[in-house]
Amino acid sequence: MPKNEELGAMEADVLVVGAGNAALCAAISASENGARVVMIEAAPEDSRGGNSFFTGGAFRFAFNGIEDILKIFPDISDEERENIDFGTYTEDQYFDDMFNLTQYRTDSDMVEILVKSSFETAQWVHKQGVRLIPGLGRQAYKVDGKFKFWGGLALHISGGGPEMLKALYAKAESHGVRIFYETQAQELLHDDDGVRGVRVRQKGKTRDVGAKAVVLACGSFESNPEMRARYLGPNWDLAKVRGTKFNTGKGIEMATRIGAMPYGHYSGAHSVAWDVSAPPFGDLTIGDQFQKHNYPYGIIVNANGERYVNEGADFHSHTYAKYGGEILKQPGLFAWQIFDQKTLHLLRNEYRIRRITKVTADSHEELAEKLEGVDPNGYLKTIREFNAACPTDIPFDPNIKDGRSTQGLAIDKTNWANPLDAPPYEAFRVTTGVTFTFGGLKIDTNGQVEDTLGSVIPGLFACGEIVGGLFYHNYASGTGLMSGAVFGRLAGRSAAKHIV
């Protein structure tokens, strides 16, 4: 690693701001295309990696069957080949998910790039040394002795974010990329010819770092409570942050100050049900395990003891990112997820960690008294009505949207509606954990940042969470890492071309 003092004297071809997944993909791609790359990262080295470090490793790409899977997961065993039905996740399905979940608002150019490059990018990521493995348990259950995938997320990154980053850091370093930690970008150096570097704050000292091109890959504004309240609305300042504390919206501020176009869903964010006792920012030793994603197999109640969403509207991977924010609309900003013995075995490992806010009871009357902050009578009324409204003639099947719907409730649960009648009951107290925000900068199809007049800003590129326009209202799990990789590669390649 270089000494910090060297940074002020440096002139990079391409300067990448940030050192998460998008930044590393940009740095590697710029290096592959012949550029000398320097990265600057606000965090110290021991907490590097941004939100990317915290990910469980869901990775969404289009594929047409086992032959495609084998190109990315060549070391599949005979047993796995025999016992897993990967199905397909075609480009059309990916497009449908992106359009449906964003209410047809996703930017058509960006989504085209994302979906059509997703398989090739998965192969590229695999070539960088990142290992992908089947996401059994998270995205597939056993049917007739065989694991069957249901959500389009066949392969996950083995070891999640930490292992992905380890491989990408090693690859970047093998290309000679230099990374400076505890170095926060403050301002873009800019004149009529475009961007020519970045003013940074490095351990209390301000320095100017020259570069022929700058790639902003420094996250969105989810870790900045003032910006959350300003853009997302009341109470969002009180949400917990699932990941890094360093994504404070600085990149968006720097770029818009020199005329970059704000773009996308500024009042929208990805957020999930998150343990109510979790710390204010992500904990590197816990990663994503404070999340509680399996509510489709139980019910969720608020302080009034009332259900407030259709827990079974879709697979969790299609609802979890918008249901997190619903908790902030409830009294006291918390909710309880409740399960009985019939479905506990389906819950992911995140329900079995030690740092968990959980109560158990042998009857609903006992549970009603134990659900902190909840009106017991309201809860008992809800459970009586819910249990009576569950069907008996449609079999429960977690692998498909089984259509096992309650009938006649103010908010029906339209799939997987089982009466909660098999004690002991288990309940988990959650609040909103914000993952990242949807608004960001506008880029063109080369990853170059556009200004408010629709022209590109010469020398300025962006990728990852800082880019707006892909996500509106909702999100399909596994798209964050993929979009970071796709647009990171694109920005790196374009930045390298820009300097010649």
Binding-site ranges for ligand FAD (CB under 6 A)? 17-23, 40-43, 49-52, 54-58, 184-185, 217-219, 242-244, 246-247, 250-251, 282, 288, 435-436, 464-465, 478-481, 484
50 vs 296 by CB, closer to ligand FAD:
50
181 vs 336 by CB, closer to ligand FAD:
181
Kindly state the smallest distance separating residue 20's Cβ from ligand FAD, in Å: 2
Q: Where are the alpha helices (DSSP H) in 201-359?
A: 225-232, 250-257, 316-327
Helix axes 479-499, 21-32, angle to 10 degrees: 30
CA–CA dist 438, 165 (Å, integer): 23
Task: Please report, for residues 93, 264, 446, the alpha-carbon distance to residue 113 in angstroms, rounded to integers and kept in the order given.
Answer: 15, 16, 10
**Mapping DSSP to helix (H, G, I), strand (E, B) and coil, where does residue 373 land?**
coil
Task: Please report, for residues 97, 150, 448, the alpha-carbon distance to residue 116 in angstroms, rounded to integers and kept in the order given.
Answer: 14, 21, 19
Tokens 């997302």, residue located: 232
Nearest to 139 by CA among 320, 325, 311: 320
Kindly state the smallest distance separating residue 247's Cβ from ligand FAD, in Å: 5
Please spell the DSSP secondary structure of 36-93, one letter per residue. Answer: -EEEE-SS-GGG-SHHHHH---B----B-SHHHHHHH-TT--HHHHHHEE---B-HHH
221 vs 416 by CB, closer to ligand FAD:
221
457 vs 470 by CB, closer to ligand FAD:
470
51 vs 294 by CB, closer to ligand FAD:
51
Kindly state the smallest distance separating residue 330's Cβ from ligand FAD, in Å: 22
Q: Are 461 and 25 in contact (CB under 8 A)?
A: no
Kindly state the smallest distance separating residue 174's Cβ from ligand FAD, in Å: 20
244 vs 405 by CB, closer to ligand FAD:
244
Q: Are 198 and 215 in contact (CB under 8 A)?
A: no
Kindly state the smallest distance separating residue 407's Cβ from ligand FAD, in Å: 35
305 vs 480 by CB, closer to ligand FAD:
480
Task: Please report, for residues 294, 303, 367, 377, 415, the alpha-carbon distance to residue 371 in angstroms, rounded to integers and kept in the order given.
Answer: 19, 9, 6, 12, 25
154 vs 299 by CB, closer to ligand FAD:
154
Query: How much is the CA Rg of the chain, to the nearest whole Å?
Result: 23
Kindly state the smallest distance separating residue 207's Cβ from ligand FAD, in Å: 13
385: tokens are 């009505």
305 vs 440 by CB, closer to ligand FAD:
440
Kindly state the smallest distance separating residue 408's Cβ from ligand FAD, in Å: 37
Continuous segment of H or E residues that includes residue 22: helix 21-32
Kindly compute the dihedral angle of the four CA atoms of residues 281, 286, 287, 293, in this order, to the nearest 10 degrees.
Answer: -100
330 vs 435 by CB, closer to ligand FAD:
435
Kindly state the smallest distance separating residue 363's Cβ from ligand FAD, in Å: 35
Kindly state the smallest distance separating residue 134's Cβ from ligand FAD, in Å: 15
Kindly state the smallest distance separating residue 220's Cβ from ligand FAD, in Å: 8
Tokens 């608002």, residue located: 105
Residue 349: burial class (beta carbons within 10 Å; 0-12, 13-18, 19+): exposed
